[in-house]
Structure 1
Amino acid sequence: MHADVMAPPRAASLELRASMSFDEWSGVGRRIARIASGSAWALGEWLLFGERRFGARYRSAIEATDLDYQTLRNYAWVARNVDAPRRRDELSFQHHAEVASLPAPEQDLWLHRAVMHGWSRNELRRRMRADRAADRAVPATVVRVEVSSDVAERWRRAAEAADQELREWVRAVTTAAADATLH
């Protein structure tokens, strides 16, 4: 952050230049939000490392952070369930928390849509709920695709690697490809 816009940050306050413009003020807010989102990722990764490396002893280090245990567990849960290569810098940690319970290809699909359309976390949540409701309300159309046995086996291995049923994996991957092509 720029020294001409704000004083050096302190743990419990933020001093901003009284004469700053709206654009400068907005920029400071965006930078703070990015730092906050990055901090959530860092704390989640830190906790996962501590669990793996130090076992039960990591709890004493958690107490040193003065953060709520459940908050830290949530950070770790999102970090565990959304692999680093899948994360989108353009989106907040909270966007990723919305998709963390989904299989990997569906995470990609929804994160891609959120980036493409500039959705807020709340809009992403709304769209995901609407999609689930539509899936329940509309009868499915069966589409048959003939592929070689080599291709079918490759798809099965990919679905297994994504810990998904083949049908769900194909649905998520083809939907993501259609979205990318149409946008």
Structure 2
Amino acid sequence: MWQRLGQQLHRITNSSCWWLGDWLLYGEDTYPGRYREAVARTALDYQTLRNYAWVARAFELSRRRDNLSFQHHAEVAALSVTEQDMWLTRAVEFGWSRGKLRDMLRAHRNAGKQIEAGREVVDVRVTIASERHQRWKRAAEQAGMQLHDWIARRLDEAAR
């Protein structure tokens, strides 16, 4: 019973971020003159409330994932809708915590920066068995990476 209560409190806390964000968005549109005063009365940090509103604006109700935290959504809120959905789907499929999702996003961005840094790019082709391809593809997905990025990372690690 005590553990169930803790789970319930966690769900309420997570939901309250969405509720506050939605409340702020509604207030911006409906009560523009009284909005700042209402925000001041919440006793919460202004920037925290702005973040709640920003995330709520990025995810209409139908796109919010009940099985992921508000913080998961905050991690991907700056991305395009397509990218948001892709990363949230991965987080659900692989059971990623918010921290793991953040790490996967960082790894993905860093892999792209290496190519963008003006380095010469060479196309390498490898012929492998289908089952090996599937195994590598699953491993790349679990790491939150494109297959080619995952292969390049593994080869770089082996070459060190």
> TM-score with structure 1 length normalisation?
0.60
- Alignment of 1:105 onto 2:82: yes
Task: Count how many residue pairs are aligned between Structure 1 and Structure 2.
Answer: 118
Give 2:46's match in structure 1, choosing from 69, 77, 95.
69
Identical aligned residues as a percent: 54
- Alignment of 1:41 onto 2:18: yes
Give 2:114's match in structure 1, choosing from 137, 141, 152.
137
Give 2:27's match in structure 1, choosing from 34, 50, 69.
50
Cα distance, 1:38–1:66 mapped onto 2, change above 3 Å? same
Moved more, 51-60 or 117-126: 51-60
Return the alpha-carbon distance in structure 2 between the equivalents of residues 72 and 43 of structure 1. Answer: 7
Unaligned stretches of 5+ in structure 2? 116-120, 124-160
Q: CA deviation at 1:43?
A: 0.2
Cα distance, 1:96–1:62 mapped onto 2, change above 3 Å? same
Q: Which runs of 4+ in 1 moved over 3 A?
A: 138-141
Return the alpha-carbon distance in structure 1 between the equivalents of residues 22 and 53 of structure 2. Answer: 6
Return the alpha-carbon distance in structure 2 between the equivalents of residues 113 and 30 of structure 1. Answer: 23
Return the alpha-carbon distance in structure 2 between the equivalents of residues 104 and 86 of structure 1. Answer: 9
Return the alpha-carbon distance in structure 2 between the equivalents of residues 112 and 35 of structure 1. Answer: 23
Unaligned stretches of 5+ in structure 1? 6-23, 142-183
1:114 alignment partner in structure 2:
91
For 1:4-19, list aligned pairs within 5 A. 5=1
Q: CA deviation at 1:49?
A: 0.4
Amino acid at match of 1:118: G
> TM-score with structure 2 length normalisation?
0.68
Q: CA deviation at 1:69?
A: 1.2
2:61 alignment partner in structure 1:
84
**Alpha-carbon RMSD:** 1.7
